[in-house]
Amino acid sequence: DEKRALKAHLGWLEQERDRIGRQIAAVETTIRAREKGEELMADDMFDGFDHTQYRDEVESRWGADAYAAGDRWWCGMSADDKAAWQERTARLGRDWTSAAEAGIDPSAAEAQALARRHVEWLTGIPGTPAVHGGDVKGYVIGLGDMYVADDRFAANYGGTAGATFVRDALRIYAEANL
């Protein structure tokens, strides 16, 4: 029907606006770096983090307000803040993968320190229960389960075995601390 078609078209236009905004930000970052004589990696020039592709999924799982809060947060960051957040995220993933590959027990102090860092990382993302005083324990345990169940998330931790380690460590941490 006409109303549904217009809403779908509006959604597409909003995604295009977001995509163009990211392109503008990438070009601005490149210009600033070039003016300072800095080298840029392709990842910096062409921001590959397209959070808008997950809009429908986020809204269906956690609601439109969660997506809107996260979108405002991400779009409001400077290029340097985005790069720092992406590096923090990547470092956490690498540390989880290394710990899993080393065969560390999920209840060991090192794994629990990673779980604490993970929860601290989550509390920095607007729109999540970790920020809005919701069921943080349930949220963390549920995310751990999702990391194992969804290959997209498991890939961040070296696959299903790594994601299982993360899930188990997060569950132990959440039960003891949240």
Percent of the chain beyond pLDDT 90?
Answer: 30
Residue 23 lies in a domain: no
Residue 128 lies in a domain: yes
Residue range of the domain that includes 130: 78-177
Higher local confidence (pLDDT), 59 or 138: 138
Residue 38 lies in a domain: no
The domain spanning residue 88 has which CATH number? 1.10.490
Number of independent structural domains in the chain: 1
Most confident segment among 13-27, 47-61, 65-79: 65-79
Least confident of 33-37, 45-49, 90-94, 99-103: 45-49
Residue 106 lies in a domain: yes
Residue 45 lies in a domain: no
Residue 136 lies in a domain: yes
Cα–Cα distance between 165 and 96 in angstroms, integer?
8
Residue 26 lies in a domain: no
- Determine if the pTM surpasses 0.75: no
Residue 35 lies in a domain: no
